[in-house]
């Protein structure tokens, strides 16, 4: 019962800091619970005594299984990575430590500011942390969106007045305009 209450508390905190609703899930809350766990464990990365010092995806799945009794298959690693940890990273709530791409020893930790939010018991200080995290999260989200937008788009200038940003895919603005223009020629 305590695990369910903590999961709901985490989801409430995520809502307060304007974390995107589509990523506020039990799975995301489980990741945060695991990354805040201070119990000493065996089988972690060398020099790590607890999950809060750094946890791999595998460690988070084991936490969900062993501590929360969740039926979590090992092949859900990618779902945890993409739908929970990546959004937490993009909003500056989690930090990833990685030696190289696809390194099996890649591990995650809660950002210290986010971690403080859960340990702070004074309501005014907690509210101040929430406001700071909202601002930080918004700035990071805007920067990430701009970066993704710039990376996935191509700007095409047709004439001095018409510039279009094209995204990957078959149904973009240039295609519609070129078909419309071709139709006027024939």
- pLDDT, tens digit, 9 for 90 and up, residues 17-76: 888 899 999 999 999 999 999 999 999 998 899 999 999 999 999 999 999 999 998 889
- 19 with 45, same domain: the answer is yes
Residues 109, 27 within the same domain: yes
Give CA 119 to chain center in angstroms. Answer: 21
**Domain with 175 in it:** 153-185
Residues 101 and 169 in one domain: no
* Residue 30 near residue 63, CB atoms below 8 Å: yes
pLDDT tens string 88-97: 998 889 999 9
List phi, psi (to 5°) of 63. Answer: -60, -45
User: What pTM does this model have?
Assistant: 0.72
Would residue 15 be called left, alpha or beta, if left means φ above 0 and alpha means ψ between -120 and 50 degrees?
alpha
Contact 81, 57 (CB under 8 A): yes
């Amino acid at each position: 019962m305590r695990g369910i209450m903590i999961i709901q508390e985490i989801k409430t905190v995520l809502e307060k800091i304007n974390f995107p609703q589509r990523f506020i899930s039990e799975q995301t809350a489980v990741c945060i619970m695991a990354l805040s766990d201070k119990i000493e464990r065996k089988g972690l990365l060398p020099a790590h005594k607890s999950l809060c010092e750094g946890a791999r995806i595998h460690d988070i799945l084991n936490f969900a299984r062993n501590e929360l009794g969740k039926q979590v298959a090992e092949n859900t690693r990618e779902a945890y990575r993409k739908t929970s940890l990546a959004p937490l990273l993009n909003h500056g709530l989690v930090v990833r430590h990685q030696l190289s791409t696809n390194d099996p020893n890649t591990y995650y930790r809660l950002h210290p500011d986010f971690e403080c939010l859960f340990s702070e018991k004074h309501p005014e200080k907690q509210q101040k942390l929430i406001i700071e995290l909202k601002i930080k999260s918004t700035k990071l989200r805007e920067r990430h969106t701009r970066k993704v937008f710039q990376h996935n788009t191509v700007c095409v200038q047709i004439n001095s007045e018409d510039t279009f940003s094209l995204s990957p895919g078959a149904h973009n603005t240039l295609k519609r305009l070129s078909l419309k223009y071709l139709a006027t020629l024939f």
